[in-house]
Amino acid sequence: MKILQHRDVLSIVLAGGMGERLYPLTRDRAKPAVPFGGRYRIVDFVLNNFVNSGLMKIKVDGPAAPDLLDVRTTAEADLRDEFADTALWRGSIVTDAEGFAQVSAALPDNLTTWRMDARAVTLDTRAGSATQDLISSRPLLVRPQTPRFFVAGDQAVLGAAVHNNTGETHHPQTAMCSYPEVS
């Protein structure tokens, strides 16, 4: 019997309904698509709960689905969550007769340059060391480019840089959405 991991579970959000009590807000859109706080939609709270519970495969279905389908709901989230200052520490590694050793490690999710440092001392006090850098990245990265600060009256220029580290040609589609403020 296979035990399913969180990442193997498909979550289905059924989105629909007019929301009679919210009619001024739902006259032109389904209740799950109603903006909240000027940035989010009501359905985003549900999606956030799924993602924070480790459920990354999410399908939005129902009468309101066409109003909700955008980058946040159609793409499977692959969130990084394991960050560490040290990828691996081994205080003692025994070499073979030739003086070689091999160490394997799964890297944390940090996107950074890791410096591997090895130092060795033999029983007859001979010493040696080696250093090697290893770059940890993602195959495809989207990095938002926004101003660091906003002051009342500013007009912001927003953008994104897409980094393709695969060595293959890709034509990703990017989108930026804004939601009107609700007062």
- Residues 43, 71, single domain; the answer is yes
Tell me: the pLDDT tens digits for 141-176? 878 788 888 788 888 888 888 888 888 888 877 776
Average pLDDT over residues 40-68: 71
In a domain? residue 85: no
- Residues 44, 113, single domain; the answer is no
Which has the higher per-residue pLDDT, 149 or 21? Answer: 149
| Pairwise CA distance, residues 34 & 50, whole Å | 19
Residue 114 has pLDDT above 70, yes or no: yes
Residue 177 has pLDDT above 70, yes or no: no
Average pLDDT over residues 31-39: 71
Average pLDDT over residues 101-129: 88
Give the mean pLDDT of the chain: 76
**Which ranges constitute the DSSP H helices of 4-163?**
23-26, 42-52, 65-68, 71-74
Q: How many domains does the chain have?
A: 3
In a domain? residue 88: no
Which has the higher per-residue pLDDT, 105 or 34? Answer: 105
- Residues 101, 149, single domain; the answer is no
Of 6-10, 51-55, 78-82, 139-143, where does the model show the most confidence? 139-143
Residue 56 has pLDDT above 70, yes or no: yes
In a domain? residue 86: no
pLDDT of residue 63: 61
- Residues 114, 46, single domain; the answer is no
- Residues 115, 152, single domain; the answer is no
Tell me: the pLDDT tens digits for 63-107? 666 555 543 444 444 667 778 888 888 888 888 888 888 888 888
- Residues 60, 113, single domain; the answer is no
- Residues 64, 125, single domain; the answer is no
Residue 113 has pLDDT above 50, yes or no: yes
- Residues 14, 70, single domain; the answer is yes
- Residues 8, 59, single domain; the answer is yes
- Residues 73, 7, single domain; the answer is yes
The domain of 157 spans 138-176
Q: Which helix (H) or strand (E) holds 118?
A: strand 112-121
pLDDT of residue 75: 43
- Residues 8, 43, single domain; the answer is yes
What are 70's two structure tokens? 């955008």
Q: Which of 30, 46, 79 is the last residue of a domain?
A: 79
pLDDT of residue 74: 40
Residue 108 has pLDDT above 80, yes or no: yes
In a domain? residue 44: yes
Nearest CA-CA partner of 44 in 66, 13, 81: 13
DSSP state, residue 179: -
- Residues 40, 68, single domain; the answer is yes
In a domain? residue 181: no
Q: Which of 11, 46, 79 is the last residue of a domain?
A: 79
pLDDT of residue 133: 92
What are 155's two structure tokens? 């007009």
